[in-house]
Amino acid sequence: MAWDFSTEPEFEAQLEWMRGFVREEIMPVETLRLTHPQLREFIKPLQEQVKERGLWAAHLPPELGGMGFGQVRLGLMHEILGQSPYGPVVFGNNAPDSGNAELLAAGMEMTGRHDIRERWLEPLLQGTMRSGFSMTEPHTAGSDPRLLKTLAVKDGDEWVINGRKWYTTNGSVADILIVMAVTNPDVHPYQGSSMFVVPVSTPGVTIVRDVGAMDDPEVTFGRFGNHAEITYQDVRVPADHLIGPEGSGFLLAQTRLGPGRIHHCMRWLGQSQRAFDMMCERALSRYTHGSYLAEKQTIQNWIADSRAEMHAARLMTLHAAWKMDQVGASASRDEIAMIKFYGASVLHNVIDRAIQTYGSLGYSADMPLEAMYRAARAARIYDGPDEVHRQTVARHALKNYEASEIPSDHIPTRAAAAREKFAGMLEFLEAEKV
Ligand SMILES: Cc1cc2nc3c(=O)[nH]c(=O)nc-3n(C[C@H](O)[C@H](O)[C@H](O)COP(=O)(O)OP(=O)(O)OC[C@H]3O[C@@H](n4cnc5c(N)ncnc54)[C@H](O)[C@@H]3O)c2cc1C
């Protein structure tokens, strides 16, 4: 029987290197407030070091220029990278480019079209091209993509796309957009939607604005990490810009979102651990009402609860990653859904407790906690709102049960049944006066 929580020594050595590298080389860059072009230059030597260690773009299989790590190792890696918002970009696996590269790879596998690799996949991997994932629309519920309205109609050798999207992360700095559109409104949306590569320079693509949001309310247009609102008006793309076969949009979305959620959850654990470290340090340092915060039971409860919740989320996430490696994303849907909502709440709670422990300093921008808190709030919404994932888990769990007018565990009913079943034995006990 194999039931093992250990990491093989060679990979543990890589993880140890990553921990030091993120702490010593990446985290200090956070405080410099570089513009995105400055940041790109700044991190080039760091990216070179990552490539030399064989850790670049580890989410893709070796034949596509990645390392083919599998989800468990990737998860362990993301836990470390997630401690800093710059970690993923230094390691060549930042969202949404990494997920989009996975999508393109899946499309390539489905169709055997190897031109995709040279045109879009390689440049994304090299970091010479940037991308956005354009699915959510302002006027339809993103939590139910069966309602999507953006339409793509075939016209000769071209597709003509019309629609409005928003929250396309990095849309205003992207070179290409991956757009989900309805290609056949007459069949079920699961078979009637497709994904396209749309170069931003295509006539009819308008980046209307970057949406001011909790992570950046006073948004400056064209900043890396912004969320763009985009209109597609009679946008014409050649037929070979369709990713995968026509109608495979939902299938592709699943391919992208399953592993993506594991990586998100592990990055959230990295963030939670960072908040936890800050909380513990402050608890040992701040003196009030006759003792250090660390000696007060409320603070101790926060520390203990945070540790337990982070441990639970970590085991759940690594188990989901392991299951994905064993049986694939589709058979791991419940596990992935559970970590999505559980992980998001742990992230939120740990950062919230850390802020409280720091008081006014925690609320101030002199500590990273307030920005972490704002970013954490979004985790309950993106990748599908938590409520939808809870619904999936509950619906699947309920399939194992049947309605019963009298509860199966109703004691009087069970006692009557037991008396009938063991009548002989009961008579014997009575006769023998035992
Ligand atoms: C920071 C951030 C980055 C994002 N990046 C991208 C991106 O790059 N590309 C992209 O396409 N999209 C992106 N999104 C959009 C995201 O995917 C959607 O916001 C999400 O799918 C929810 O859709 P919605 O906002 O339309 O909410 P709605 O669908 O309107 O849902 C609103 C609320 O209704 C409730 N609800 C919904 N369904 C149920 C249910 N079944 N049961 C109970 N309650 C329910 C939930 O509380 C939910 O929050 C991003 C969002 C955020 C916040």
Q: What residue's CA is closest to ligand 1, atom 35?
A: 387
Give the chain's length: 434
Q: 68 — phi, psi (to 5°)?
A: 60, 50
Shared-domain flag, residues 18 and 97? yes
Domain end marker among 52, 81, 111: 111
Tokens of 231: 């209109």
Give the position of tokens 């970091």.
127
In a domain, 188, yes or no: yes
In this structure, are 138 and 194 located in the same domain? yes
The verdict on the CB of residue 166 being under 6 Å from ligand 1 is no
- With beta carbons less than 8 A apart as the criterion, state whether 186 and 235 touch: no
270-288 pLDDT, tens per residue? 999 999 999 999 999 999 9
Q: Which atom of ligand 1 lies closest to the CA of 134?
A: 11
In-domain check, residue 116: no
Q: Does 334 map to a domain? A: yes
Residue 148 and residue 239 in one domain: yes
Query: What is the band of 59 on the pLDDT scale with cuts at 50, 70, 90?
Result: confident
Do the domain assignments include residue 125? no
State the residue range of the domain holding 303: 250-398
CATH number at residue 100: 1.10.540.10
> Within 10 A of 382 (CB to CB), how many other CB atoms are there?
16
CA of 374 relative to ligand 1 center, distance in Å? 16
> For the chain, what is the mean pLDDT?
94
Domains in the chain, number:
4
- My answer on whether 273 and 364 are in the same domain is yes
* pLDDT for residue 65 is more than 70: no
Based on the domain organization, do 226 and 263 belong to the same domain? no
∠ Cα 21 46 8 (to 5°): 45
**What was the pLDDT predicted at 135?**
97
Instruction: Among 78, 111, 144, give the residue marking a domain's end.
Output: 111
Whether 56 and 143 share a structural domain: no
Examine residue 120 and state whether it is found in any structural domain, yes or no: no
CA 153–ligand 1 middle distance (angstroms): 26
Ordered DSSP codes for 203-237: TTEEEEEEPPBTTBTTPPTT-TT-EEEEEEEEEEE
**Least confident piece of the model among 3-7, 178-182, 294-298, 414-418:** 3-7
DSSP string, 385-424: -HHHHHHHHHHHHHTT----SS-TT-HHHHHHHHHHHTHH
Is the CB–ligand 1 distance for residue 168 below 6 Å?
yes
Whose CA is closest to 131, among 111, 102, 160, 106?
A: 102
Q: Of the residues 188, 212, 243, which one is the last residue of a structural domain?
A: 243
- 294 Cβ closer than 6 Å to some ligand 1 atom: no
Q: How far is CA 14 from CA 73, 77, 321, in A?
A: 10, 9, 19
Angle 277-289-275 from CA coordinates, rounded to 5°: 15
Q: Residue 211: is its pLDDT beyond 90?
A: yes
Cis peptide before 9 (omega within 30 of 0): no
85 CB less than 6 Å from ligand 1? no
CA of 386 to the centre of ligand 1 (A): 9
pLDDT tens figures, 22-56: 999 999 999 998 888 899 899 999 999 999 998 98
Is there a single domain that holds both residue 176 and residue 205? Answer: yes
For ligand 1, say whether the CB of 47 is within 6 Å of any of its atoms: no
Which of 24-38, 148-162, 340-354 is least confident? 24-38
Answer whether residue 99 is part of any domain: yes
* Domain membership flag for residue 123: no
For the CA of 135, the nearest atom of ligand 1 = 11
Atom of ligand 1 nearest to the CA of 144: 29
Residues 295 and 384 in one domain: yes
Quick one: 317 and 351 in the same domain? Answer: yes
Q: How far is the CA of 378 from the centre of ligand 1 (A)?
A: 9
Q: In whole angstroms, give the CA distance from residue 324 to residue 333.
A: 9
Cα-to-centroid distance, 143 and ligand 1 (Å): 5
Q: Is 147 in the pocket of ligand 1 (CB under 6 A)?
A: no
Mutational pocket test of ligand 1: of 94, 103, 136, 198, the residue with most ligand atoms within 8 Å of the beta carbon? 136
Residue nearest to atom 30 of ligand 1 (CA): 141
Query: 237-270 as b/e, with b when 16 or more CB fall inside 10 Å?
Result: beeebbbbebbbbbbbbebbbbbbbbbbbbbbbb
Q: Are residues 262 and 349 in the same domain?
A: yes
Residue pair 72/326 in contact (Cβ under 8 Å)? The answer is no
Q: Which of 431, 397, 300 is nearest to 353 (CA)?
A: 300
Instruction: Give the per-residue pLDDT at 403.
Output: 98
Domain of 350: which CATH number? 1.20.140.10
Q: Ligand 1 centre from 142 Cα, in Å?
A: 5
